[in-house]
Amino acid sequence: MLLTYRALVLFDIDGTLVRRAGPHHREALVHGVRRVTGLETTTDGIPVQGMLDPDIVAAMMRQTGATRAAIGEAMPEIVRAAERYYVRVCPVLESKQCPGVEPVLERLTRRGVLLGLVTGNLTRIGWRKLERAGLRGYFRFGAFGEMAKTRAGLAKIAIGEARRRGWIARGAPVSLIGDAPADILAARANGIRAIAVATGLTAEEELRSHQPDILLKDLRELRLRMVEA
């Protein structure tokens, strides 16, 4: 049976669905680099918000003087090592959901809206984080940090998959909800609706300066008409 959804809503994870999830994610990246290359690195001084995990890893390695070639060569192994580590150590995150998340996901799902992920998290890290936050069941697919070079590229992959599988019709409304300027830019690059939520590190005023289509204090303010019409 082919079920067509009335709209697609893509969600960022950190600062949008889940926040203050602890140091495990950063530690996983540090562990991955150490495990594969022996290098001691840190995320200190790297503006990780809105960045894709492989870009964070590359920046960490550059701080130690690693060459572009060395970084590229080690990256696939580092990704796997970081994912394995995170899956092992990720704590229960049910109390770390952003305000209003679960009722909103529930409501959208009941209305026949397809939910997907567009996140800089590596694939297994993103899924594990959602699983531990009790939110995995709402999402059937996503685009993750190692799948494209930019967040706009990730959004493009997710939209393309939803269309190719016939989950949404051409012309169905598509929105991207995120807490960082990078999410707004990725939405705009794909010609989809940019919905910003001020539940992450970026202040409402700064989000506003990037001119999202809709700006919310948190997901409790989301209305169905914002993503359906």
The residues that touch Mg ion, with contacts defined as CB under 5 A, are 12, 14-15, 179-180
In the complex with Mg ion, the residue whose CB is nearer, 58 or 177, is 177
In the complex with Mg ion, the residue whose CB is nearer, 21 or 172, is 21
- Residue nearest Mg ion by beta-carbon distance: 15
In the complex with Mg ion, the residue whose CB is nearer, 180 or 184, is 180
From the CB of 119, what's the least distance to Mg ion, in Å? 7
CA 29 to CA 40: how far, in whole Å? 11
| Sequence letter at residue 150 | T
Do 37 and 78 form a contact (C-beta atoms < 8 A)? yes
CA distances from 180 to 16, 30, 38, 42 (A): 9, 23, 32, 22
From the CB of 6, what's the least distance to Mg ion, in Å? 26
In the complex with Mg ion, the residue whose CB is nearer, 11 or 85, is 11
In the complex with Mg ion, the residue whose CB is nearer, 37 or 178, is 178
Written as one string, the DSSP assignment of 167-184 is: SB-TT--EEEEESSHHHH
From the CB of 51, what's the least distance to Mg ion, in Å? 10
From the CB of 202, what's the least distance to Mg ion, in Å? 9
Mention every residue, 6+ apart, whose C-beta is less than 8 A from residue 23.
Answer: none
**Tokens linked to 55:** 């870009």
CA 78 to CA 9: how far, in whole Å? 31
CA distances from 176 to 41, 63, 88, 196, 224 (A): 32, 32, 30, 8, 14
From the CB of 45, what's the least distance to Mg ion, in Å? 19
From the CB of 200, what's the least distance to Mg ion, in Å? 5
Do 32 and 26 form a contact (C-beta atoms < 8 A)? no
Nearest residue to 175 via CA among 165, 160, 188, 166: 188
In the complex with Mg ion, the residue whose CB is nearer, 15 or 145, is 15
